[in-house]
Amino acid sequence: MRFPDGSEPPLSQGVRSGPLLFTSGQGPLDPATGAMPGDFGAQARQVLANVEAVVAAAGGDRRSIARCTCYLSDRTHFAEFNRVYREFFTDCPTLPARTTVVARLVREGVLVEVDAVAVVA
């Protein structure tokens, strides 16, 4: 991930402690193109895909995700986020534990961000 000025953020995308992986907050940028979708549903899907990519890099998959903290820029997106979230985790026997908060997100145009804790072998 890079900022628009080309610099890298001062963080790790994920940090392991034993079997736990703690991801940094993932935004809606497409890692291949740097593009950010304009609509909320597409942003939510990209954010969850980005979380999954960090977990996969550590040897897990979406079923490894035990907990998510979800940040929405506007509470009016809550119902749509629930639909996208449920769709994303549809093949998981148990949905991750979750906290969802409405917050002012740092980057202009970002409507959703998610961080996660996963259990990876």
Residue 3 has pLDDT above 70, yes or no: no
For residue 45, give Cα distances in angstroms to 5, 38, 63.
Answer: 25, 12, 16
pLDDT tens, residue by residue, 6-50: 667 778 899 999 999 999 999 999 999 999 999 999 999 999 999
Q: What's CA 35's distance to the chain center, in Å?
A: 16
Render pLDDT for 80-100 as a digit per residue (tens, 0 to 9): 999 999 999 999 999 999 999
Beta bridge partners of 67: 97, 117
